[in-house]
Structure 1
């Protein structure tokens, strides 16, 4: 160990709260088995949901699945978001079966996790509110989305759905994958970067056309930021809060038209397929992410 490595190790010392329980069964073979089991359980859970939809939907399975895939109606987007809960449950199951880890070992001590979530939520939601205020003052053209009364009525369940979606992703990528890699490999270049690369690839979407890889790059940087906050804090609270506020902003307040616009109060006058318009918005998205990281660190004092 070099002297230069000591500050980084001290900075990330809280991460032992998550990686410590993983040290009991740290082998790469077990991790591969665990990931495969997560994939299998997620697939089987998804198939079970499809069966339920097929049995209960008056419109039939095909049209209902199309609505969920488009996610341009409240039902479609809510169904898509809640279905991500299968990933979180699958991760809990795989961690229990393969590494003998309980759910809290993937999240961290509940008291600190909740307090850190609250601090980062307050900091990043304030930043998001400022951004939305500046958008309103800028005169940027936006189209109405859901009627205000409908949007407000759906807000509690919409927020819960986003919490399920973002929380499930954090439990798998930062709670499980990152901590298990940290138990096996000492270098943060492995246990921070590798999950972030996988997170980025998982967010590659062909609907963004020529911007698809830039969107994936943004997701990768988000993964690095979330991983860093998790390592500095020792719980998933900060990463969950940052992820929740980010997704709530773009899904509930101002979204692009078309896919995944079903819960938005307002919509930009372009869709994800309009490459030039999306590209023009990306620099601000990257800046907002870095500002959110800074705000979270200030709130946590780390």
Structure 2
């Protein structure tokens, strides 16, 4: 017979209630939930967070979702830091005024120096100096031509300091000297290889005796470096930074300075119909040098590329009548004949692309 004791019937109910209470209990330190299903989900999340390293992973994932997009989408990771010093004073008018002031300072210094020569030595000496500057066909003439780039260096530095309130180091970028050496040293064997293979050209003849070249090197090499530094500071330094600080696309900061660089190498009076190809070659060089500058975040690789190229073109194998005063060998060609110059310009373009690829490979290591 079943017991009719109320206490006996209440016992199972009490056990079920106790079971529900037990299932809804929470581990110490955890917040109670409303509803068993929500409680289980929350317990599962808290259990995952309690595992070693889980909280750190969640924090990193959250930070990754909250992290803002980079300021620039350019493929050159180090370019933004190189452009940063120019951003504070990168107005178009300020940059244009700076470029005009650099050109004015340069021409004022050159014309002032020639005027001083005329005043001190007379018209005969002035005429001789002008002829030397026109061709650079002697060792002294070449040194004179290279010296004229000193005002360009000073003009860029003065405008950068006074108009933009920044220093030479901001034009060079961090680690410029280190990257210069990293790129320049491996390029020297390529320079020697080009000189060796050019020895079989029937249009090539010996020009400057080795002893004469060696005797002039202590003067010529520093001046040659100053010449390439002047051009790099202006085109891949000042102009690239000022334009890049305003327009992020490579067509702006890479191509515009390179186009101006090529235009300044356009000399139809000297090269006739071939002048446009010389200018295009210079523009190609400017784009490659700008690419190296953007990849490295400094001017070091561009300086190395330019220095290696000019050592080859000015001191080893020169073009007759064009800065060949110290060239060890000289190519005797009609620079006005596009047919005669086409293969040489193509080989020069190929050589500079090889130099550029070698520099890029070196920067990756």
TM-score by length of 1: 0.92
Say what the alpha-carbon RMSD is for the aligned residues.
1.9
Q: 1:53 aligns with which of 106, 114, 117?
A: 117
SS of match in other structure, 1:289: helix
Structure-to-structure mapping, 1:104-123, within 5 angstroms: 104-109=169-174, 112-123=175-186
Deviation at 1:175, TM superposition (A): 0.6
What residue number does 2:218 align with? 156
Whether the 8 Å contact between 2:274 and 2:335 is mirrored in structure 1 is no
Is 1:44 matched with 2:121? no
In structure 2, the residue matched to 1:194 is 256
**Does the residue aligned with 2:78 lie in a helix, a strand or coil?**
helix
Query: Does the alignment pair 1:295 with 2:295?
Result: no
| Structure-2 residue corresponding to 1:86 | 151
Q: Assess if the C-alpha contact under 8 Å between 1:17 and 1:235 holds in 2.
A: no
C-alpha distance in structure 2 between counterparts of 1:152 and 1:229, whole Å: 31
Structure 2 distance, partners of 1:218, 1:162, is: 20
Residues 132-189 of structure 1 show CA distances to partners (whole Å, capped at 9, x for unaligned) of 12223x3544222112111111112111111011100000001100001111112121
Cα–Cα, structure 1 residues 128 and 147, in superposed 2: closer, same or farther, change >3 Å?
Answer: same
Q: Is the 8 A contact 2:132 2:144 kept in 1?
A: no
Q: Distance in 1 between matches of 2:86 and 2:315?
A: 36
Separation in 1 of the partners of 2:121 and 2:182? 41
Indicate the structure whose relative CO is greater, using CA pairs within 8 Å and at least 6 residues apart: 1
Q: Secondary structure at the match of 1:101?
A: coil
Provide, for residues 63-88 of structure 1, a one-character-per-residue CA deviation record: whole Å limited to 9, x for no partner: 21111111101111111112112111
Structure 1 residues 176-215: aligned runs within 5 Å = 176-206=238-268, 207-215=270-278
Contact 1:18 1:175 in 2 (8 A): no
User: Normalized against structure 2, the TM-score is what?
Assistant: 0.76
Query: Aligned-pair distance for 1:270?
Result: 2.1
Q: How far apart are the structure 1 equivalents of 2:326 and 2:119?
A: 26
